[in-house]
Structure 1
Amino acid sequence: MRFKQTNPQPIRSNPQPVRSKYRLYSPSALTSAYRCVKEDGLSVLKASRMYSVPENTLRDRVLGKIDPETVVMGKVPLFDQYEESKIANHFKEMASYGYGYTRQECVDIASDYAVQLGKRDKDKRLSINWLKGFLHRWPEMKVVKPRGLEFIRAKMTKESTVMEYFEHLERCISRHDLADKPHLIFNIDEKGLTIDHKPPYVVGSSTSTVQAVTSGKGQTVTMIGCGSASGVSIPPFFVFPGKRMNSDLLNGASPGASGTMSESGWSNTDVFRKYLKDHFMKFAPGRQGEKIILLLDGHRSHVAVDLAEWAKQMNIIIFVLPAHTSHILQPLDVACYGPFQRIYNNLCHKVMRQTSAAITRYNICEIACKAYSKALCAENLHAAFQRTGIYPINKEAIPKEHMIPSEVFCSQTVANEDGNDSDATVEGGITTNAATPEDLFEKQTLKLKNVKSKLINKPRKTMSKLVSGKELTSDEVCEAIQQHIKDQQKPTKKPAKKTAKMSKLVKKSPMKKSVSPKPGPSHINLLASSESSCDEDIEDEEKCCVCGLFTPTALANAVSITFAKWAQCDGMVNGYPCNHWTHLIHCTNVRVIRRGDTFLCPHCEVMEE
């Protein structure tokens, strides 16, 4: 039943049409279409369809009714099309390197550029409204939230490293005759699970802050996943924090899922060895003497000599991915664990709403198994191995933009060859007395490359460099690992020889005789003062001028550690400083000496009296 409206709105006979967005093409597209008509002889209709430019807009410029440089109606922009194209290209270039500009930084750089061109005074800078108009004139550019990229990943993901990895992988697959056997190509990777899930987007009020109830912080549970290029996934394997395995932790797990315990909840060499021997081999396809290739990252739990020897016996080839490149080369990271995390968060949010229990380590396995079966489906696994260029082998599968951030870490020629750093800079980092304004953006880019190229560290011999992007089970790599372990066990530094000066400072303590246990306070055996004293080896100048000892008698047999307080005499004897040392409290009535106080030893006090 439909209720009558309280205030019915009249129905318009002729509704007002929705106005479409103005100018959905970029100025560069209009310029390219104009050149095709003028230079290549293309018709206006074909050029307008080729570059998605309105036909009448292009025809007016071809016929000379409108200046070809005019791209908008109304007030002419501050910069012409060529100048704005240089600004846009610079903004895109810096963003592709991973060091893009914020809104205010873009305005500052454009202001500096306008000052250099003589179109603005230094005191009259641009506002944020210029950026709004600029983005409106260049639809291909917009303000976006960048995705975080770790510094070491940006530095190590080089094009040369990726190409070398594909060469080794292609050689390994062809040598073992696995090019047409996707069911024998596997990828294994770990995934950390927390009970404090990230809430998904929900529908709520726009006038108040919407909240989502979570389980709070807790320990991490590691899930080891595995899938093949043919779309077959191995059941998950869980690593729970603790020391004793409890079967209740696997309640609600999918068929074939298993788990073990570790003190931290993270995987290690023993856990990974158990996973391969007891879990992976159970579900690996029947090979009939054929070899299996496992693609792993270079985590230290995956690299072990005994593990490589066991893999050789089982006809398993372990291939290690290049270091710090798993975000673009590891199939499970590229196309499976992202959907897994979203599904896991949604399931946790639903469990928190539909049940009275919170997410704990006793129900995290059930939730993770449901997300695992959906995320590691055949379709996602096929896409994962295809996007990473593993099956089929394709070096061009990795987008070039993923490797652009590493270019700034290559050694570059310093922009200022003369070493003259007197060029003043204004806000935004643009040089103010450059020779020509055309080189401003190029110098800004070179400045970034020169700064990052100085971060080249001294090369070190690590295990990661020996196995990165190579076959772990090959004889050459195994020998290199064994030699590396032997080198690590050798002492790196020789003990320093004692000089004559050091031998004077180091006091040799006399050999202590073995003493049979004797009853004493707090059951501590005390040695006689004559046996524990080493005052005979100390020079007289360092001893107390009153008792003639280095250690006071009252402290010689002390049970606990007690420090003796000293003071040096400030008196004068026959015109020379006394400089005698005296035990405070024990050999003089003075207990504390503060900065600026004058102290006299008992001998100097007698002489003054």
Structure 2
Amino acid sequence: MESSESPSEAAHSPPIVYCDENISEEVQLPASLFSASAMEISFGSTSAVSGLPLSADCVEEFVYDLPLPHAYSDRMALALKAYKSGNLSQYAAAKKFKVPYTSLWKKLRGVRTGKKGAHLRKFSEAEEDYIEHLLLKCAENGIPLDKRFLKRIVPLLAKSKDMPEKRKTFTKFWHREFLKRHPKISQRISHGVSRKKAKEWTVENREGWIQRLSELNTDGLLYDPAGIWNFDESAFQVSEKVTTVYAKRGVKEVLSYYDGNDRELITVLAGGNAAGEILRPLILFDGKVVLASRFEGTDDKCYIGFNSSGVMDNSTFTSYIREEVIPKMTAAKNVIFLDGHSSHMFNLEFLSECMKSDKDITVVILPSGQTGKLQPMDIKVYGPVKKYWRDYLRQMTLIPTEEVTKQNFARHIVEKWNDFNMAANIVSGFVSSGIYPFNPDAVCRAYVEPVPSQLVSDLPISIANVYVSELQVVRRSLQKFLF
């Protein structure tokens, strides 16, 4: 029969009396038999309790009538002994002692069960909080730290705590668990910003740009998306060298063959309007003449230009605007946003063409050094286009009969031009830049507040002396960044 008493109550209860029909007198068995020491009883043999032998069946009844131990390990031990004695089957032992049948089955066969032992943490909670604070503060101050920094810090701090040699190393497991314990931190791709350009984008310059956009909006130049244009040029590679590949472990050098010249770049000018209309791209080659072979397969879907350097100049840009852009303008009022390249800003021939045109064209030059935050083509278009183009070049390395070279570059770029999804991206770029629809808040989001001086002194250095040298590097970098 099962008792409702707890183990602690059973230990202090009066001795339990058991009467065997073959024994004429009562034998008092100590209550300790029914405590944790009951696990030590050997089933199938005789034990001496108060000088009297007890059969296996007798002991079995004693143990089975006991309140089950609270500890899982004790119940599992009783189940194992019950099965090994031959008195209970695996299923009956698991049911009687309330342990999982599968776990009992694995225990009998020597299969390891349960969770692995808890890993000891390298650092205390306060030390890890400091590391988190340091990483976040540095990111806020414009000098985000990478994994290489942690690989230097972890062994130094571990050494200061006299840890065993095996635990001093920086491991992938510790790094993964550290990020789990500190969800405020995540690994992100940093966006390089020139300190000089960041300092130039002051509150005054930001407010001045918002004022300029407000004036354009008041004049009706930002009402019709079909009349809001942006053009920008970028360099495209004709070959891509893959950096991370799969290879046999231990190989020191993995060869990756590519076609063409990895240093050869071709200038491509692209653009469109806020309504999502994308014009033919301008592909600029260097040389005095353009070979007819470079036009093959383009189906007149691109505008081919050439000059002696292969870099955008006044004449090439003006020709493209005159022959390709102005004829495609349909809005009553048009505005063209351009960066401060010399072929745009100081191109009197281009400005003259805009003035002579009956399209009512206004040219606006974006703030110096801020095109990465304010120019639609830079914000949303060229990033995805370049990534897609690099992927395409990697795929072409797997085709031995086909290669991308300077001679057939135009054909390949035209074939993939519609796959770049530039129409949707340029519309998104105008929205993000705050140009169309006109949104001063979007311009404000592109502005990064200057770093206050007190942030540098807020960095804690009291937890471990090993951080001092690293913090000095951080402090110097922060001081350089202060506005």
- Give the alignment's TM-score, normalised by structure 1: 0.50
Compared CA separation, residues 144 and 89, structure 1 to 2 (3 A): same
Aligned equivalent of 2:183: 139
Compared CA separation, residues 165 and 254, structure 1 to 2 (3 A): farther
Unaligned residue ranges in structure 2 (runs of 5+): 1-117, 458-463
User: Deviation of residue 107 (structure 1)?
Assistant: 7.1
Aligned equivalent of 2:137: 93
User: Deviation of residue 299 (structure 1)?
Assistant: 0.9
User: Secondary structure of 1:278's match?
Assistant: helix
Aligned equivalent of 1:240: 285
User: Deviation of residue 181 (structure 1)?
Assistant: 0.5
Alpha-carbon distance in 2 for matches of 1:269, 1:444:
45
User: Secondary structure of 1:407's match?
Assistant: coil
Alpha-carbon distance in 1 for matches of 2:152, 2:422:
49
User: Deviation of residue 214 (structure 1)?
Assistant: 3.0
User: Secondary structure of 2:282's match?
Assistant: strand
Aligned residue pairs: how many? 353
User: Deviation of residue 196 (structure 1)?
Assistant: 2.3
Structure 1 counterpart of 2:335, which letter?
A: I
User: Deviation of residue 428 (structure 1)?
Assistant: 3.9
The answer on whether the counterparts of 1:220 and 1:266 sit within 8 Å (CA) in structure 2 is: no
Structure 2 residue 479 is the aligned partner of structure 1 residue 450 = yes
User: Secondary structure of 1:264's match?
Assistant: coil
Aligned equivalent of 1:301: 343
Aligned equivalent of 1:164: 208
Compared CA separation, residues 158 and 200, structure 1 to 2 (3 A): farther
How does 1:281-430 map onto structure 2 within 5 Å? 281-282=326-327, 284-287=328-331, 290-304=332-346, 306=348, 307-314=350-357, 315-354=360-399, 356-397=401-442, 400=445, 403-404=447-448, 407-408=450-451, 412=453, 428-429=467-468
User: Deviation of residue 269 (structure 1)?
Assistant: 1.6
Compared CA separation, residues 273 and 426, structure 1 to 2 (3 A): farther
Alpha-carbon distance in 1 for matches of 2:255, 2:444:
38
Compared CA separation, residues 446 and 373, structure 1 to 2 (3 A): same
Aligned equivalent of 2:223: 180
User: Deviation of residue 341 (structure 1)?
Assistant: 1.6
Compared CA separation, residues 251 and 399, structure 1 to 2 (3 A): farther
Question: Quick one: which of 208, 214, 233 aligns to 1:190?
Answer: 233
How does 1:38-187 map onto structure 2 within 5 Å? 78-80=123-125, 84-103=128-147, 105-106=149-150, 128=170, 134-143=178-187, 146-158=190-202, 160-175=204-219, 177-187=220-230
Structure 2 counterpart of 1:161, which letter?
A: N
The answer on whether the counterparts of 1:272 and 1:301 sit within 8 Å (CA) in structure 2 is: yes
User: Deviation of residue 227 (structure 1)?
Assistant: 1.0
Compared CA separation, residues 370 and 342, structure 1 to 2 (3 A): farther
- Give the alignment's TM-score, normalised by structure 2: 0.61
Aligned equivalent of 1:480: none
Question: Quick one: which of 243, 255, 272 aligns to 2:300?
Answer: 255
1:274-311: per-residue Cα shift (whole Å, max 9, x none)? Answer: 111122223x2334xx2211111111111126233432
User: Deviation of residue 367 (structure 1)?
Assistant: 1.1
Compared CA separation, residues 380 and 102, structure 1 to 2 (3 A): closer
The answer on whether the counterparts of 1:222 and 1:267 sit within 8 Å (CA) in structure 2 is: yes
Structure 2 counterpart of 1:128, which letter?
A: F
How does 1:182-221 map onto structure 2 within 5 Å? 182-199=225-242, 205=247, 207=249, 209=254, 211-217=256-262, 219-221=264-266
User: Secondary structure of 1:99's match?
Assistant: coil
1:354-378: per-residue Cα shift (whole Å, max 9, x none)? Answer: 4635322221011112232222532
Q: Percent identity?
A: 19
How does 1:528-543 map onto structure 2 within 5 Å? none
Compared CA separation, residues 206 and 294, structure 1 to 2 (3 A): farther
Compared CA separation, residues 350 and 415, structure 1 to 2 (3 A): closer
The answer on whether the counterparts of 1:336 and 1:384 sit within 8 Å (CA) in structure 2 is: yes
Compared CA separation, residues 97 and 394, structure 1 to 2 (3 A): same
Structure 1 counterpart of 2:337, which letter?
A: L
User: Deviation of residue 192 (structure 1)?
Assistant: 1.0
Aligned equivalent of 1:26: none
Unaligned residue ranges in structure 1 (runs of 5+): 1-72, 417-424, 432-440, 457-609
Compared CA separation, residues 102 and 188, structure 1 to 2 (3 A): closer
Compared CA separation, residues 340 and 135, structure 1 to 2 (3 A): closer
The answer on whether the counterparts of 1:199 and 1:345 sit within 8 Å (CA) in structure 2 is: no
Alpha-carbon distance in 1 for matches of 2:375, 2:182:
36
1:511-543: per-residue Cα shift (whole Å, max 9, x none)? Answer: xxxxxxxxxxxxxxxxxxxxxxxxxxxxxxxxx
Aligned equivalent of 1:267: 312
Alpha-carbon distance in 1 for matches of 2:155, 2:398:
52
The answer on whether the counterparts of 1:109 and 1:429 sit within 8 Å (CA) in structure 2 is: no
Compared CA separation, residues 111 and 348, structure 1 to 2 (3 A): closer
Structure 1 counterpart of 2:223, which letter?
A: D
Compared CA separation, residues 133 and 355, structure 1 to 2 (3 A): closer
Structure 1 counterpart of 2:363, which letter?
A: I
User: Deviation of residue 88 (structure 1)?
Assistant: 1.6
User: Deviation of residue 76 (structure 1)?
Assistant: 7.8
Compared CA separation, residues 329 and 245, structure 1 to 2 (3 A): same
The answer on whether the counterparts of 1:254 and 1:370 sit within 8 Å (CA) in structure 2 is: no
User: Secondary structure of 2:304's match?
Assistant: strand
User: Which has the higher relative contact order, 1 or 2, with Cα contacts under 8 A spaced 6 or more apart?
Assistant: 2
User: Deviation of residue 337 (structure 1)?
Assistant: 1.3
CA RMSD of aligned residues (A): 4.1
User: Deviation of residue 147 (structure 1)?
Assistant: 4.3
User: Secondary structure of 1:187's match?
Assistant: strand
Compared CA separation, residues 415 and 195, structure 1 to 2 (3 A): closer
User: Deviation of residue 164 (structure 1)?
Assistant: 3.1
Point out the structure with the larger helix share: 2
